[in-house]
Amino acid sequence: MKMQLIQKQRVAEMVETLHQVAALPEAEAQCLPGWFYTDPEFFDLEVRTFLSKEWHCLGRADEIPQPGDYFTAQLFDEPLLVVRGDDEQIRVLSNLCRHRGMPIAEGSGSTRKFVCSYHAWSYARDGELLNAPRMRDKGVTKGSCALPEFRCEEWNGFIYANLDDDAEPLAPRLEQLEVLLENYETDKMRHVATFEEDWHTNWKCLVENFMEAYHLSVVHPETLHHYTPTGLSRKALSDDTFTAYCANYPSSAEARGMGAPGLTEDERRRSTLFNVFPAQVASQAATLLVSLSIKPLAVDCIRVRWTLSTYENELTQDELEERIALWHEVNREDREKLEKMQLALSSRHAPSGHLAPSDYEGTIWDFYRYLSRQYPV
Ligand code: FES
Ligand SMILES: [Fe+2]
């Protein structure tokens, strides 16, 4: 009992610290202390307070282009089945049989109907029960139950889900980000590949890492520095829902394709990196869109599902393979750093150092202020 009280008090003090850090003027912005990334009770609080009530990107709509195409996902306690129905609508259904709770589907694929592997109840592609063998006398017949459905929205070709039935719609909150991306025709980018990996890091560490340019030239000297050196990066638009920065290419770098016809020359010569709060980070360039959906599993573990999309057919298959290999290497470089840092952050000497100037780490300051708003004073 006494232990619980101490933990409660510690977590309350952490929230207070978060408010104080987020209230600093930008010029004095500081990092959050290490225990924000390592304390299991604080992680539980994050999940309860906002992570389980926010919109989470699950993938791209054209990963499942035909009726019956599906993939599965897990968001906190909920196993999800993302499926395109006969009416072409994408639904996010509970991936749990209504009989005794067996998952209905695994991985990804395409099907005419979903048949539970345990006692063979079957479901239509909109989740309605089709058949339950030997259950007629119990009143369990076609249409008598259905897989529960979660809130789902499509925005710019991304699929988002929210476990909270009362959540505000997402799209109206993303109008400013829409302005930043509109010339890229993000909604038309064509899905090329999906990968899924578990990383041993706190979810916020990957958000912050992806969204800051300060490390680019140091951690990625061979893979990114010649295209997106730290020194040319510039903070971009942000608001309560997202933050962004532009990783500009040096004039010496070759163009990397034309992309959408409405792009300006400047837009063609940069990657725009954005974070839809809390846990989607993405890089939009003229011919390539890479998006990472970060699913927090525990305080020190995340599932990263990342997709790569391209603009029409401008890049050859070889060029696409090269870009995929490059992104695997970039992720490997980041992952190595983050997993080492995670092990060190529990130290009582873990720092709360200064954030770098706005163009390099201003996005982290935006992220902290988003986090702070989740705990009303
Ligand atoms: S759990 Fe699915 S049919 Fe029994
Ligand atoms: Fe990186």
d(CA 102, CA 237): 45
- Taking residues 318-325, report their average pLDDT: 96
Domain boundary among 106, 132, 162: 162
How many domains does the chain divide into? 2
Among all bound ligands, the one having the nearest atom to the CA of 96 is: 1
Asked whether residue 204 falls in the same domain as residue 97, the answer is: no
Domain boundary among 117, 143, 162: 162
Q: Is residue 139 part of a domain?
A: yes
Domain boundary among 162, 197, 231: 162
Q: Is residue 42 lining ligand 1, measured as CB closer than 6 Å?
A: no
pLDDT tens string 78-125: 999 999 999 999 999 999 999 999 999 999 999 999 999 999 999 999
Contact 303, 295 (CB under 8 A): yes
Per-residue pLDDT at 1 exceeds 80: no
Q: Is residue 118 lining ligand 1, measured as CB closer than 6 Å?
A: yes
Number of other CB atoms surrounding residue 311 within 10 Å: 22
List the domain range (segments joined by +) for residue 345.
171-373
Instruction: Quickly state the pLDDT bin for 364 (edges 50, 70, 90).
Output: very high
If you ran DSSP here, which 8-state letter would residue 138 be given? Answer: G
Residue 269 tokens read as 């010569």
Q: Is residue 97 lining ligand 1, measured as CB closer than 6 Å?
A: yes
**For residue 367, how far is its CA from the centre of ligand 2 (angstroms)?**
17
Q: Is residue 135 lining ligand 1, measured as CB closer than 6 Å?
A: no
pLDDT tens string 194-246: 999 999 999 999 999 999 999 999 999 999 999 999 999 999 999 999 999 99
Nearest Cα residue to atom 1 of ligand 1: 100
For the CA of 101, the closest atom of ligand 1 is: 1
Instruction: Quickly state the pLDDT bin for 2 (edges 50, 70, 90).
Output: confident
Q: Which residue has the higher pLDDT, 17 or 3?
A: 17
Contact 190, 309 (CB under 8 A): yes
124: CATH: 2.102.10.10
CA distances from residue 108 to 6, 12, 68 in whole angstroms, order as listed: 45, 42, 11
Asked whether residue 282 falls in the same domain as residue 182, the answer is: yes
Q: Which of 113, 114, 115, 119 to mutate to test the pocket of ligand 1 (most atoms within 8 A of CB)?
A: 119
Q: Which residue has the tokens 């990804």?
A: 108
350: CATH: 3.90.380.10
In the prediction, which pLDDT does 3 show?
Answer: 78
The contacts of residue 346 (CB under 8 Å, 6+ apart) are 34, 35, 38
